[in-house]
Amino acid sequence: MSTVIETRNLKKNYEMGSVIVHALRGINLSVETGEFVSIMGASGSGKSTLMNMLGCLDTPSDGEYLLDGENVNNLTRNQYADIRNQKIGFVFQGFNLLAKTSALENVELPLFYDRSNRVPHTLKAAMGALERVGLADRVHHQPNQMSGGEQQRVAVARALVNNPAIILADEPTGNLDSHTSVEILALFQELNDQGITVVLVTHEPDIALYSRRVIQMSDGRIVGDRTVKNRLIAKEVLPTLPTIENGENGEDKS
Amino acid sequence: MKWRNVLKAAIKSILKNRMRSLLTSLGIIIGVGAVIVMVAIGQGSQYRIKKEIDALGANMLIIFPSHSRMGGVSRGAGSYNRFTLADTRKLQKESSLCAGISAIVASSGQIIGGDSNWNTRIYGVDPKYLEIRAWPLKSGSFFTERDVRAKAKVAVIGQTVKENLFPDSNPVGERIRINNTPFQIIGVLSEKGQDPRGMDQDDVVLAPSTTVLYRLKGGQYISFMMASAISTKDIGAAQEELTGLLRDAHKIKPGEDDDFVIRNQAEITEAAASAAHILTLLLGSIAAVSLLVGGIGIMNIMLVSVTERTREIGIRLAVGARESDILVHFLTEAVVLSLIGGLIGIGIAYGVGEILNHFTELTALIHPEIVMMAFGVSGAVGIFFGFYPAKKAARLNPIDALRHE
Of A133, A154, A162, nearest to A68 (Cα)?
A162
| CB–CB contact A100 B16 (8 Å) | yes
Q: Which residues pair with B113 in a beta bridge?
A: B116, B176
Please tell me which of the candidates B12, B16, B321 has its beta carbon nearest to residue A113: B321
A199, A208 contact by CB (below 8 A) = no
Residue of B nearest to A99 (CA): B312
Eight-class DSSP state of B145: H
| CB–CB contact A98 B315 (8 Å) | yes
Determine the pLDDT at residue A248: 46
pLDDT band (50, 70, 90) for residue A251: very low
pLDDT band (50, 70, 90) for residue A80: very high
Q: Which residues of A touch B315 (CB under 8 A)?
A: 96-98, 109
Residue A249, pLDDT above cutoff 50: no
Cβ-proximal residues to B345 (8 Å cutoff; 6+ apart), any chain: B28, B29, B30, B31, B32, B33, B36, B374, B378
Determine the pLDDT at residue B315: 93
What does the alpha-carbon distance between residue B59 and residue B227 come to, in Å, rounded to a whole number? 8
- Mean pLDDT, rounded, for A35-53: 91
Q: Which of B5, B6, B319 to mutate to test the interface with A (most CBs of A within 10 A)?
A: B319
What does the alpha-carbon distance between residue B205 and residue A111 come to, in Å, rounded to a whole number? 86
Chains A, B: CB pairs < 8 Å: 61
Determine the pLDDT at residue A250: 44
Residue of A nearest to B399 (CA): A57
Q: Which residues of A touch B312 (CB under 8 A)?
A: 98-99
Residue B321 to residues A79, A120, A160, Cα–Cα distance (Å): 10, 18, 16
Residue of B nearest to A53 (CA): B399
Q: Which residues pair with A39 in a beta bridge?
A: A201, A215
Q: Which residues of B touch A100 (CB under 8 A)?
A: 16
pLDDT band (50, 70, 90) for residue B203: very high
Cβ-proximal residues to B133 (8 Å cutoff; 6+ apart), any chain: B56, B57, B60, B192, B226
pLDDT band (50, 70, 90) for residue B267: confident
Q: Is B222 exposed, middle or buried (0-12, 13-18, 19+ CB in 10 A)?
A: buried
Q: Determine the distance in angstroms separating the CA of B380 from the nearest CA of chain A, rounded to an integer.
A: 26
Please tell me which of the candidates B16, B319, B398 has its beta carbon nearest to residue A113: B319
Eight-class DSSP state of B67: B
Q: Which residues of B touch A78 (CB under 8 A)?
A: 322-324
pLDDT band (50, 70, 90) for residue B259: confident
Residue B266, pLDDT above cutoff 80: no
Q: Which of B16, B322, B326 to mutate to test the interface with A (most CBs of A within 10 A)?
A: B322
Please tell me which of the candidates A55, A58, A81 has its beta carbon nearest to residue B321: A81
| CB–CB contact A78 B322 (8 Å) | yes
Q: Which residues of B touch A85 (CB under 8 A)?
A: 319-321
Residues in A whose CB is inside 8 Å of some CB of B read 52, 55, 57-58, 77-78, 81-82, 84-86, 90, 92, 96-101, 109-110, 112-114, 158, 162
What's chain B's Rg over C-alpha atoms?
33
Residue A211 to residues A108, A215, B94, B272, Cα–Cα distance (Å): 28, 10, 112, 88
Determine the pLDDT at residue A247: 46
B165, B118 contact by CB (below 8 A) = yes
| CB–CB contact B319 A55 (8 Å) | no
Of B57, B221, B194, B199, nearest to B124 (Cα)?
B221
Residue B30, pLDDT above cutoff 80: yes
Residue B197, pLDDT above cutoff 80: no
Q: Which residues of A touch B12 (CB under 8 A)?
A: 101
Q: Which residues of B touch A84 (CB under 8 A)?
A: 317-320
Q: Say if strands A166-170 and A88-91 run parallel, antiparallel, or are unpaired.
A: parallel
Please tell me which of the candidates B16, B312, B320 has its beta carbon nearest to residue A85: B320
Of A54, A71, A77, nearest to A164 (Cα)?
A54
Give me the domains of chain A, ranges plus CATH numbers. Answer: 34-60+77-240 (3.40.50.300)
B235, B152 contact by CB (below 8 A) = no
A67, A4 contact by CB (below 8 A) = yes
- Mean pLDDT, rounded, for B190-219: 86
The CA angle B251-B252-B257, to the nearest 5 degrees, is: 160
Residue of B nearest to A159 (CA): B319
| CB–CB contact B318 A158 (8 Å) | no
Task: Specify the 3-state DSSP secondary structure of B227.
Answer: strand
What does the alpha-carbon distance between residue B369 and residue B381 come to, in Å, rounded to a whole number? 18
- Mean pLDDT, rounded, for B327-346: 92
Residue A216, pLDDT above cutoff 90: yes
Determine the pLDDT at residue A127: 93
- Mean pLDDT, rounded, for B139-161: 92
| CB–CB contact B399 A82 (8 Å) | no
What's chain A's Rg over C-alpha atoms?
18
Phi, psi of A209 (to 5 degrees): -65, -15
Cβ-proximal residues to B336 (8 Å cutoff; 6+ apart), any chain: B7, B10, B11, B14, B382
| CB–CB contact B325 A113 (8 Å) | yes
Of A252, A16, A11, nearest to A143 (Cα)?
A252
Give pLDDT tens digits for B56-78: 666 888 888 876 555 555 555 55
The CA angle A161-A166-A169, to the nearest 5 degrees, is: 90
Burial B375-402 (b: 16+ CB within 10 A, else e): bebbbebbebbbbebbebbbebebbebb
What does the alpha-carbon distance between residue B142 and residue B129 come to, in Å, rounded to a whole number? 10
Determine the pLDDT at residue A253: 45
Q: Which of A51, A52, A57 to mutate to test the interface with B (most CBs of B within 10 A)?
A: A57
| CB–CB contact A109 B316 (8 Å) | yes
Determine the pLDDT at residue B1: 60
| CB–CB contact A57 B12 (8 Å) | no
Q: Is B41 exposed, middle or buried (0-12, 13-18, 19+ CB in 10 A)?
A: buried
> What residue type is assigned to position A209 of the chain?
L
Predicted complex ipTM: 0.90
Give pLDDT tens digits for B283-301: 888 888 888 888 898 899 8
- Which has more pLDDT, B77 or A35? A35
Range with the poorest average pLDDT among A214-228, B35-49, B161-175, B254-268? B254-268
How is B88-125 classified by DSSP, letter by letter?
Answer: HHHHHHH-SSEEEEEEEEEEEEEEEETTEEEEEEEEEE
What does the alpha-carbon distance between residue B383 and residue A6 come to, in Å, rounded to a whole number? 44
What does the alpha-carbon distance between residue B238 and residue A145 come to, in Å, rounded to a whole number? 83
| CB–CB contact B1 A113 (8 Å) | yes
Cβ-proximal residues to B243 (8 Å cutoff; 6+ apart), any chain: B258, B262
Q: Is A182 exposed, middle or buried (0-12, 13-18, 19+ CB in 10 A)?
A: buried
Please tell me which of the candidates B2, B321, B399 has its beta carbon nearest to residue A57: B399
Q: Say if strands B175-178 and B181-189 run parallel, antiparallel, or are unpaired.
A: antiparallel
Helices (H), B253-397: 265-308, 310-318, 323-359, 368-394
Please tell me which of the candidates A77, A92, A114 has its beta carbon nearest to residue B323: A77
Give pLDDT tens digits for B351-398: 999 999 999 888 888 989 989 988 898 899 999 999 999 999 999 989
Determine the pLDDT at residue B69: 53
pLDDT band (50, 70, 90) for residue B217: confident
- % residues pLDDT > 90 (chain A): 63
Please tell me which of the candidates B312, B319, B324 has its beta carbon nearest to residue A84: B319
CB atoms within 10 A of CB B114: 18
Q: Say if strands A36-41 and A197-202 run parallel, antiparallel, or are unpaired.
A: parallel
Give pLDDT tens digits for B94-127: 988 888 999 999 998 899 987 888 999 999 999 9
